[in-house]
Amino acid sequence: MQRIVLLAITLAVTALMGSSLAAPVNYKTPDEVAAFKPGPNLEVVQGNCSACHSSDYVATQPPMKDKRAFWQAEVTKMIKVYGAPIDDADVGKIVDYLTATY
């Protein structure tokens, strides 16, 4: 039993020493190359949406018959379900931009 405990302690100390001596790993993420399309209220969309969504993600939404209803529902969902801190005054501007642009 003492051998097992001694072996476990030795392995734990070795693992800790090895990880403390390891060189840190640095990663560089790729630069964002996508951009929201130009349009009215672009700055409002960038200020509210780009913290969580890339423009590529927004552009991947499927085609829809009633764009305005779709985008209104999406913005409402972001606020109510996900807690997006979007001012009431910006909701219409965001919906207008998304409806006209995507």
- Dig out the tokens for 101 from the structure: 């642009």
Average pLDDT over residues 76-86: 97
At 13-56, the pLDDT tens digits run: 777 776 666 678 888 877 777 899 999 999 999 999 998 998 98
Fold of 42-101: Cytochrome Bc1 Complex; Chain D, domain 2 (1.10.760)
Tokens standing for residue 57: 């993600």
Contact 70, 64 (CB under 8 A): yes
What is the Cα–Cα distance from 83 to 3, expressed in whole angstroms?
Answer: 55
pLDDT value at residue 21 = 66
Answer for the pair 91, 75: CB distance below 8 angstroms, yes or no. yes
- pLDDT attached to residue 24: 82
Answer yes or no: are the C-beta atoms of 70 and 102 closer than 8 Å.
no
Q: At residue 32, what is the residue type?
A: E
Helix axes 67-80 and 88-101, enclosed angle (nearest 10): 140
Domain ranges across the chain: 42-101
Rg (CA), the chain: 25
